[in-house]
Amino acid sequence: MIITVFRKEWLQSLRLGRVRWLLGIALLLAFASGLHTFSAYLNYQNEHALASQISRGDWLSQEAKNPHSAAHYGLFVFKPWSPGSLFDPGLLPFTGTTAFVEAHVKNDAVHAPISDRTTLARWGSLSPAFILLYLVPLLMIAIHFDTVSGERASQMLKWTATTGLPFGKWLAGKWLAIIVLPAFFLILCLGGSWLAAGFTWDHPQLLFGLLLGFLLFYAVLANLILWVSAFTKTPSSSLLVLLAVWILMGWAVPKVAANMAEIQHPAPSLAELRQRIDAAKRDGLMGDAISSERLTELAGQILKELGIEDTPDAAVNRDALNMQAGEAYGYEIFDHFYQEVESNHEQQRQLCLTSSALSPLLPAAMLSMAFSQTDAHAHWHFNRAVELYRREFVEILNREMMLHSQTGDWGYHSHPSTWSKIPEFHYQSQPPTQTWQRAKGYLFSLSLWGLLTSVLTFWIVPARWGWRG
């Protein structure tokens, strides 16, 4: 019975010229978006490989020099794009791609692609996630807004009631007819992105997460469409209400939520952060200026790790040892301040998540970015990986100076073969379990939406209206 209602709904819809046109346009846009993200991804992968090769070659081709000078000369590392970016580029255009690795300073990844673009780029580019989050809901509304109100207006509801069909089954058939189109687009976009990634998207958990999240989102929308269509008297009122809902949930709420999060938890500017870091380096983290005792203690720890006894005639370059001790103190400072920035972003994210009570699109969009590994967390994960690499980089060079030269011997030059001791930077994206951990909140929010709208549609609608119309 449900299938019969479902078939009738689709046959009726496909007879309408506007539905065929809209479907054609949506398919065309989905295809164009897939093509664009694929081409951008390939382009970036090539550039990334070339730039990494140039940077590595540049590092290895240094002449003999003091290791500390080499540490200042530094090297560049570049952020790779996750295969998920083929589906949802998310925050990638807004986050830095290039990080400079050097002694003493933690540099953040800079040169976000958007900062080199013009005003028009703020509209964003087409991507499969955009199609699924914004266009497909509009398509669902455009095709099914009159699913109940239209039947009521044309008196068809009374005719259907005479067939003896249970109201619940009739509603379920309609629900199935609404959900089938987004499910088709979801499989098309996800499958296309997976194929385009050349099977390198090797975490099925992430794909499953996307599938589940989007299906929940579409189920919520299908419920809302059915409920609004049953609640309003005329098809034009249904359309008006649904369009208002779409605009509010898609365009207004995310902006307001993000703005409120910024106002509620203001983030420091880069200049402010640097000022604080400089002050902490100068006066100590808690105003407890780094004393010679603290430096000696850190230096002692380093020597202990190296298995060298801390005696005045130990065979180490004390200048290099002190520099490494200074670096170790710097790590504490950077960790402290960057932890603050990260917590600030987390507080902003939590506020956005709370705002998802006003829009199911908000958790769906955040979930899409999380499972595509293109959200802010993925960027912080990259930044942390770069910092760990920087620490290793500086430590190797300081150790080189420490163990192979004398205190005060600033003219010491390392052989060029030393530079190859620095390993290449290979970034491993965050494990899927971590992503799932974070995405739980979004899934929970979508599930709540699903529960609430299901109650409205499958309990309140039959109880309040039923075949009475």
Partner 1 sequence: MLTLLRLEFLKAYRQKSLLFGTLSFCMLLCIAAYIQHHQVERLRNQTQALELAAQERLKTSLDKLKDVEAGKATYPSLWDDPRGYYTWHEVSANMPLPPTAFWAMGQRDLFENVHTLGIFKGAEVAGKAIANPLPMLWGQFDPAFVLVYLMPLFLIGLGFRLIGEETRQGTLPMLLSQPISSRRFFAMKTAVWFLPFLAATCLSLLVCQTFVAGMGSLATWETTVLLGFVALYATFWLLTTLLLARWCSSTASAALGLVVCWMVLTVILPKTTATFSDRIYPIPSRLLLTGAQREATRDVQAEANKLLAQYYVDHPELADEPDAPVEASLKRFYDYYQKTLTVQREVENQVLPLKEEFYQQRTRQQAFEQTLSYVMPPVLMQQLLNYLAGSSSQDQLHFARYLESFGTQWRNHFQRLAFQKTLISSQNLADLPTFTLPEISHRDRIGNMTLTMAMLNLLLLVGCWLGFADSQFRKDLGARHHD
Token reading at 204: 């099925």
Which CB atom, from 273 or from 452, has the smaller least distance to partner 1? 273
Within 219-258, the residues that bind partner 1 by CB under 8 A are: 235-236, 239-240, 243-244, 247, 251-252, 254-258
Which CB atom, from 28 or from 314, has the smaller least distance to partner 1? 28
The site map against partner 1 for 436-465 (x = CB under 8 A) is: ------------------------------
Q: Which of 125, 291, 343, 406 binds partner 1 (CB under 8 A)?
A: 125
109 binds partner 1, rule: CB under 8 A: yes
Which CB atom, from 123 or from 199, has the smaller least distance to partner 1? 123
Residue 98, beta-bridge partner list = 78, 110
Within 137-176, the residues that bind partner 1 by CB under 8 A are: 138, 142, 145-146
Which CB atom, from 236 or from 301, has the smaller least distance to partner 1? 236
Residue 414, beta-bridge partner list = 65
User: Is there a contact between 157 and 171 (Cβ–Cβ < 8 Å)?
Assistant: no
CB of 415 to partner 1, least distance (A): 16
| Helix, strand, coil fractions of the chain, as percent rounded to 5 | 75, 5, 25
431 binds partner 1, rule: CB under 8 A: no
Within 3-32, the residues that bind partner 1 by CB under 8 A are: 18, 22, 29, 32
- Sole residue written with tokens 């779409």: 246
Q: Which long-range contacts (CB under 8 A, 24 or more apart) does 269-273 make?
A: 270/108, 273/337, 273/341
Provide the CB-side half-sphere exposure for 63 (13 A, CA). 0
CB of 72 to partner 1, least distance (A): 4
Nearest by Cα to 128 from 81, 92, 86, 91: 86
Q: Which of 144, 174, 203, 379 binds partner 1 (CB under 8 A)?
A: 379
Tell me the C-alpha to C-alpha distance, in Å, between residue 418 and each of 70, 336, 406, 431: 10, 32, 18, 33
358 binds partner 1, rule: CB under 8 A: no
343 binds partner 1, rule: CB under 8 A: no
114 binds partner 1, rule: CB under 8 A: yes
Q: Which SS3 state, helix, strand or coil, does residue 101 take?
A: strand
- Of 174-182, 194-202, 346-354, 426-434, the segment contacting partner 1 by CB under 8 A is 346-354
- Sole residue written with tokens 């200048």: 319
Task: Give the whole-angstrom CA distance, residue 122 versus residue 113.
Answer: 11
Q: Which of 9, 30, 55, 422 binds partner 1 (CB under 8 A)?
A: 55
Polymer length of the chain? 469
308 binds partner 1, rule: CB under 8 A: no
Nearest by Cα to 425 from 7, 38, 49: 49
CB of 423 to partner 1, least distance (A): 19
Tell me the C-alpha to C-alpha distance, in Å, between residue 374 and each of 82, 101, 304, 368, 397: 7, 23, 41, 9, 33
Which CB atom, from 8 or from 36, has the smaller least distance to partner 1? 36
- Number of residues near partner 1 (by CB under 8 A): 92
CB of 246 to partner 1, least distance (A): 9
Task: Give the whole-angstrom CA distance, residue 419 versus residue 63.
Answer: 9
CB of 92 to partner 1, least distance (A): 9
73 binds partner 1, rule: CB under 8 A: yes
124 binds partner 1, rule: CB under 8 A: yes
Nearest by Cα to 181 from 207, 208, 218, 228: 218
Q: How many CB atoms lie within 10 A of CB 446?
A: 24
- Of 113-121, 211-219, 289-297, 392-400, the segment contacting partner 1 by CB under 8 A is 113-121
Within 257-296, the residues that bind partner 1 by CB under 8 A are: 257-259, 261-263, 266-275
Q: Which of 78, 201, 371, 442 binds partner 1 (CB under 8 A)?
A: 78
User: Is there a contact between 157 and 211 (Cβ–Cβ < 8 Å)?
Assistant: no
354 binds partner 1, rule: CB under 8 A: no
Give the pairing type, strands 98-101 and 75-78.
antiparallel
